[in-house]
Amino acid sequence: MFRGFYTVASGMLAQQRRTEMLTNNMANANTPGYKADQSALRAFPEMLLQRFDQQSIPTEKGLNLPVTKRVGLLSTGVYMQEAIPAFMQGDMKETGLQTDVALLDVLMPANQENGQSGSVFFTVADPSGETRYTRNGNFTVDGQGFLTTASGLFVLNDAGNPIRLSSDRFTVNENGVLTGEGGETARLGIGFTNNPHRLIKQGDGLYRTEDGNALANAYNAGGVQFKLQQGFLERSNVDVGRTMTDMMTAFRAFEANQKVLQAYDRSMEKVANEVGRIG
């Protein structure tokens, strides 16, 4: 009976965490460059149940031998192992703003291990100076003339240095070369990984590498083709309709587990209050 409580409770926790993940996807449906998370549910190892018994052997003195009889397998529950971002290209949205730049995947080599395509990212620096990566090209120029993200992180060039401009009037060609109004030039830093699922997702649409090492320079990566579009932003790749359907499915599964838990609770109440009562 108590095993059933644990199994049902694990199912409710898994669906709750899945609902939270889907809610976060829905909240970021309009966030530029956001990559929707997908859940990976796994079952705990199954248990083999056996019943201990005795078998009587008809001898002169009588003999009882211990034996076991197989009852069957029992599932011990499920859990949400991880949330995995889907790095599919989002749609392009024209904004007309010179400070907006979108990354467009043209040809990304497939990873030989999992068969999935690689991905390219803008390189930025957080306040501690650590390199981070993002697909959100919603940039601006701060009061000191540095090109930054909307949250204030420095946008880096292909040498890993912040880009400083004389004004927010600049041009970016499809090869990533940025030319400022005052004649200053730089090339936007673009990193490439053939396995984006190894990146660690952080808040505000940022990613970092597992080992802290920088990604390869996408301009020099063999077989990688991409281009940049000024005046555009990459939309989130969240499918709102599918996300709503998945949220309803997760909610119904949570409700089903909840009803089973209530049934177990009523059974335990009968055991405690009625079974064995002396009339």
The model's pLDDT over 131-153, given as tens digits with 9 standing for 90+, comes to 999 999 999 999 999 999 998 99
Q: Pick from 211, 188, 214: which is nearest to 129 by CA?
A: 214
Weakest mean pLDDT among 12-21, 155-164, 267-276: 267-276
Host H or E run for residue 135: none
Same domain, 103 and 163: yes
Any domain includes 241: no
Same domain, 53 and 98: no
Pairing state between β 170-172 and 177-180: antiparallel
Same domain, 125 and 76: no
Look at the chain and report how many structural domains it folds into. Answer: 2
Q: How far is CA 167 from CA 4, 102, 157, in A?
A: 65, 20, 17
Main-chain phi, psi angles of 262, to 5 degrees: -65, -35
- pLDDT digit string (tens) for 147-187? 999 989 999 999 999 999 988 899 999 999 999 988 899 99
Same domain, 54 and 109: no
Same domain, 96 and 229: yes
- Distant-in-sequence, close-in-space partners of 175: CB < 8 Å, separation ≥ 6: 187, 227, 228
Any domain includes 239: no
Cβ pair 185, 171 in contact under 8 A = no
Any domain includes 279: no
Report, as an integer, the average pLDDT of 79-104: 91
The pLDDT value given to residue 222: 85
Same domain, 193 and 77: no
Report, as an integer, the average pLDDT of 109-135: 88
Same domain, 103 and 126: yes
The pLDDT value given to residue 265: 81
Any domain includes 243: no
d(CA 126, CA 128): 5
Helix (H, G, I), strand (E, B) or coil at 172: strand
- Band the pLDDT of 111: cuts 50, 70, 90: confident
Any domain includes 278: no
Q: Is the pLDDT of residue 279 over 60?
A: no
Report, as an integer, the average pLDDT of 93-111: 92
Same domain, 74 and 99: no
The pLDDT value given to residue 264: 80
Report, as an integer, the average pLDDT of 221-239: 94
Same domain, 221 and 97: yes
Any domain includes 244: no
Summary mean pLDDT of the chain: 87
Q: How far is CA 72 from CA 77, 78, 104, in A?
A: 16, 19, 54
The percent helix, strand, coil of the chain (3-state, each to 5) is: 25, 40, 40
- Band the pLDDT of 274: cuts 50, 70, 90: confident
Same domain, 201 and 110: yes
Weakest mean pLDDT among 40-49, 151-160, 192-201, 202-211: 40-49
Q: Tell me which residue has tokens 């909610």.
A: 251
Q: What percent of the chain has pLDDT over 90?
A: 55
Name the token pair of 136: 């959100």
Containing structural domain, residue 58: 2-83+251-273
The size of the chain, in residues, is: 279
Same domain, 114 and 59: no
Cβ pair 33, 136 in contact under 8 A = yes
Q: Is the pLDDT of residue 1 over 60?
A: no
Cβ pair 121, 215 in contact under 8 A = yes
